[in-house]
Structure 1
Amino acid sequence: MLDKKRIRLMAKMSAYEKKHAKEDLRISSYYKKDYASLNTLITVLWITVGYAILAGLYALCNLNTLLENLTITKLLLMIAIAVGIYLILVIIYCVFAGNFYKGKYNKAKQRMKKYYRDLARLGKMEMKEKK
């Protein structure tokens, strides 16, 4: 006999499996700190690549004006400013990326717990039906 609660539960679980299960399983295979640290490190690497490309393009576009009045003091000052901006950018992105990935991990874990809880409920429903 068909049970409405059981059908709704199965539909809800199926929707979860289609939408989130693969990614949540991958995320929950890590510890929270490891997942957040790994993805923050990846973010820092991409920020470094992007910053290097943008700084290189800026330097290439303004090469004439940069080289006209270039002295050692101005060169050191420009390098210090570029490194300072890079460090500030990396620190800001690290803080936000760490918080973002910790939140993403928590949401994935909550969805996985709910899924396993629903799976247990479905198993109990089947056991009751067999009796």
Structure 2
Amino acid sequence: MIDKRKVRLMTRAAIYEKRYGEEDIKITGYYQKDYSSLNTWITLIWVTAGFFLLAALMFLAGGESLIEGITVVKLLILAAIVLGLYLSLLIIYGIGAGSFYRKKHIRAKQRMKRYMRDLSRLEKMNLKKEIHRS
């Protein structure tokens, strides 16, 4: 006879493996702090690259009119504005990425725990069945 609880556990385990399994194994292979720090740094590197590419494009598009009436004071003010924008962008993205990746690690760990608990329940069910057979 088919055990409904066993079928449910097996179905839930199969769905988890298909949907989240591989990624969760990679994520939970790191400590939470290491995972969030690494991915935050990667995010900040990409934000830096994107910011400087955007700044270069804006300079190429309107740089001639900017350079015509430039003085040292205007250059310093422009540099301070650009630096301020860059730092504020880094802080916002750094905080957001750190929070996002911490939560992502926590969710992956919770799913992995539930999956392991289901597998241990299945194993206990199989052991009970084998004991009853012999």
Q: By the TM > 0.5 criterion, same fold?
A: yes
SS in 1 for 2:2: coil
Q: Which amino acid is the alignment partner of residue 90 of structure 2? A: V
Q: Over residues 49-94 of structure 1, what are the superposed CA-to-partner deviations in whole Å (9 max), with x where a residue is unaligned?
A: 0000110111110112101101111111111110110000000110
TM-score (norm 2): 0.95
Distance 1:60 1:75 in 2: 16
Structure 1 gap segments, 5+ residues each: none
Q: Is 1:79 paired with 2:79? A: yes
Q: Is 1:61 paired with 2:61? A: yes
Q: Is 1:89 paired with 2:77? A: no
Distance 2:23 2:84 in 1: 37
Percent identity between the two aligned chains: 50
TM-score (norm 1): 0.98
Q: 2:37 maps to which residue?
A: 37
The offset of 1:2, in angstroms, is: 2.0
Q: RMSD of the alignment, in Å?
A: 0.7
Structure 2 gap segments, 5+ residues each: none
Q: 1:107 maps to which residue?
A: 107
Q: Which amino acid is the alignment partner of residue 3 of structure 2? A: D
